Amino acid sequence: MNMKAVVLAGGSGTRLRPLTDMTPKHLLPVGGKPIIEYGLQAIAALGIVDVAVVVGTETREPLRAHLGSGSRWGVRISYVFQEEPRGIAHALLCAADFAGRDPMILYLGDNLLGEPLSGLVQSFFRNAASAAIAVKEVPDARAFGVAVLDTEGHVRQLVEKPAQPPSNLAVIGAYVFRPEVFEASRSIQPSGRGEYEITDAIQALIDAGKTVVPHRVAGWWKDTGTPADLLHAQQLVMEGLETEITGALDADTTHQGSIRVEREAFVHRSALLGPVQVGAGAWVEGARLGPHVSLGAEAQIKRAVLENCIVLPGVTIEDEQLSDVIVGPGMRVSGARR
């Protein structure tokens, strides 16, 4: 059976400003790679070829320019425009013509999952379900959509951001649907915050007697909505970093743990404490980097100490000690801080 994917990438990322004034949140790097690329790779690994990326006014042109046709990941990307952010169910409806009568994965483009999507898809087909939803046990579910299961293990009820959660199963950013989800999405009304909630659309499927199954995510999951989330996501992603050196390290540089030094990058008289990623064309001199540091392309790092940092392209950092920070593109940071 043919299967498609819809990736949502229309949000403006207000909680990440001023970073997102320059770069859409889906293109912010984690471990040296834009967030949305992790989702595209996970989708491509399933053998899915046709992918719709739902974009908004602020994200349309930057995402088109970066992702292009999708051929780098072995997929064909179609771009679907959502005029204004009106909720996940509304964004999905924008892609109804693209999806047609095929089952589809819906993936939130600013989420990261530490396991393949194959388990979610298998749960969907194994149960001949109308929908399968990824869920994760969390200590405090008040900020999430929450799933309540029946005695057969199917989803009986979904509650959006409850003050008193009826379970600890948070609904996270990956779903599989049959096309009846579009009719369900058209049947709902905006929530109290003025959005068409995907949880309400799924509840409409349940109320119509359709089978909705959960897939419990065993690995990690991260919604990258804030700077702290981005830094934590990088820690998680970089734990799987494999050493690859296509740039140059001189004889006075030491390194331990996993490192990736990309083409035309040069590291001179420095120490790399992996996991560390050095972007293409970067210059590192007299520095100590790591753990959990990623440098964007053409970054210049001299006599600096960085730990748990995301440094975007074109940044210059000199005579500085930084930890737990994100440095925006093209910035210059100089002078010791106490």
C-beta of residue 104 within 8 angstroms of C-beta of residue 6? yes
Identify the CA nearest to 278 among candidates 294, 291, 256: 294
The answer on pLDDT for 20 being more than 70 is: no
The answer on pLDDT for 137 being more than 50 is: yes
SS3 64: helix
Average pLDDT of the segment spanning 243-259: 95
SS3 237: helix
Task: Please give the pLDDT value at position 122.
Answer: 95
C-beta of residue 173 within 8 angstroms of C-beta of residue 108? yes
Residues 181, 266, single domain; the answer is no
Handedness of CA 219, 111, 17, 161 (dihedral sign): negative
Residues 218, 276, single domain; the answer is no
Number of domains making up the chain: 2
Q: What does the DSSP 8-state code read for residue 228?
A: H
Encoding tokens for residue 298? 């053409």
Count the Cβ atoms, other than its own, within 10 Å of residue 118.
12
Q: Last residue of some domain: 208, 237, 266?
A: 237
Residues 35, 88, single domain; the answer is yes
SS3 230: helix
Task: Please give the pLDDT value at position 165.
Answer: 86
Helical segments of 225-276, H only? 227-238
Contacts of 202 (CB under 8 A, 6+ apart): 131, 133, 155, 158, 175, 181, 184, 212
Task: Please give the pLDDT value at position 96.
Answer: 93
Average pLDDT of the segment spanning 283-290: 96
Residues 223, 292, single domain; the answer is no
Task: Please give the pLDDT value at position 8.
Answer: 93
pLDDT digits 0-9 by tens, 29-45:
999 999 999 999 999 99
The answer on pLDDT for 338 being more than 50 is: no
Identify the CA nearest to 8 among candidates 117, 81, 101, 113: 81
The CATH number of whichever domain residue 102 belongs to comes to 3.90.550.10
Residues 20, 135, single domain; the answer is yes
Provide the residue range defining the domain that includes 147. Answer: 4-237
Residue 143's pLDDT band (boundaries 50, 70, 90)? Answer: confident
Residues 189, 281, single domain; the answer is no
Residues 184, 227, single domain; the answer is yes
Q: Last residue of some domain: 186, 202, 237?
A: 237
Task: Please give the pLDDT value at position 190.
Answer: 84
SS3 159: strand
Q: Last residue of some domain: 237, 256, 281?
A: 237
Identify the CA nearest to 177 among candidates 130, 113, 143, 128: 130
Which H/E stretch holds residue 81?
A: strand 76-81
Lowest average pLDDT, out of 5-14, 44-53, 165-174, 193-202, goes to 5-14
Encoding tokens for residue 240? 């799987």
Nearest 5°: CA angle at 289, between 110 and 303?
125
**Burial group, residue 149, by CB count within 10 angstroms (0-12, 13-18, 19+):** middle
Q: What does the DSSP 8-state code read for residue 201?
A: H
Residue 12's pLDDT band (boundaries 50, 70, 90)? Answer: low
Q: What does the DSSP 8-state code read for residue 296?
A: -
Residues 182, 257, single domain; the answer is no
Residues 126, 224, single domain; the answer is yes
Residue 22's pLDDT band (boundaries 50, 70, 90)? Answer: confident
* Mean of pLDDT over the chain: 91
Q: HSE of 283 in the Cβ direction (CA atoms, 13 Å)?
A: 8
